[in-house]
Amino acid sequence: MTGRGRRAGSGGDADRSRELRSAEGQDAIRAADVSGWAGRRGPFGRGGLVSALRAQHGGAAAEFAIVLPAVLAALALCLGAVQLAATQLRAQDAAADAARAWARGDDASLAGRALGSASVARSDEGDLVCATVTARAAGAAGVLGLDVSARGCALGGGL
């Protein structure tokens, strides 16, 4: 071997390089070196890394199509949790309003109006007047059949 970048064990290539050296000179040897590697398969196939990357055409779209439903499901779950928390806050406010209205001796029929079809129940515990509001959750949580419940109490006697 001449040590010109040839790999060990390529005896046929050595014979071909001797013929080219005698016939066409150094330019022909360089051309043989380049063309000798063109037909061999490397770790990325026949065309090398660039061809392997070009063969991935459409891979990003396929990955996006797989990931998109998961991202949308996570987003819907987050929005449902926010709606559930907002409904819980409205129920807590309605229960506190109803308990204060009953403690003053007023009608508390408007207390659950912000929640739509909420049920308001009254209970007296000593000096306290308590209201319990139960409502169907809004949005995605309502589709699942989740209910929220809140309780509020006020000191009775019109104070």
**C-beta separation of 6 from 17 below 8 A:** yes
Domain residue limits at 83: 59-155
Per-residue model confidence (pLDDT) at position 71: 95
> Does residue 22 lie in a domain region?
yes
> Does residue 145 lie in a domain region?
yes
Specify whether 142 is located in the same domain as 107.
yes
Specify whether 85 is located in the same domain as 148.
yes
Per-residue model confidence (pLDDT) at position 62: 81
> Does residue 144 lie in a domain region?
yes
DSSP secondary structure string for all residues of 100-147: HHHHHT---TTTTGGGSS-EEEEEEETTEEEEEEEEEPPTHHHHTT-E
Per-residue model confidence (pLDDT) at position 58: 73
Specify whether 120 is located in the same domain as 140.
yes
pLDDT per residue as tens, the chain (159 positions) = 455 554 555 556 666 656 655 555 555 545 545 554 455 555 555 556 666 656 667 777 888 888 999 999 999 889 988 989 999 999 999 999 999 989 988 887 777 777 877 889 999 988 899 999 998 887 777 778 888 999 999 998 765
Specify whether 29 is located in the same domain as 74.
no
**Which of 156, 26, 50 has the alpha carbon at shortest distance from 100?**
156
Total tally of structural domains belonging to the chain = 2
> Does residue 21 lie in a domain region?
yes
> Does residue 5 lie in a domain region?
no
Specify whether 18 is located in the same domain as 90.
no
> Does residue 1 lie in a domain region?
no
> Does residue 120 lie in a domain region?
yes
> Does residue 137 lie in a domain region?
yes
Specify whether 100 is located in the same domain as 142.
yes
Specify whether 149 is located in the same domain as 102.
yes
Q: How far apart are CA 1 and CA 40, in angstroms?
A: 20
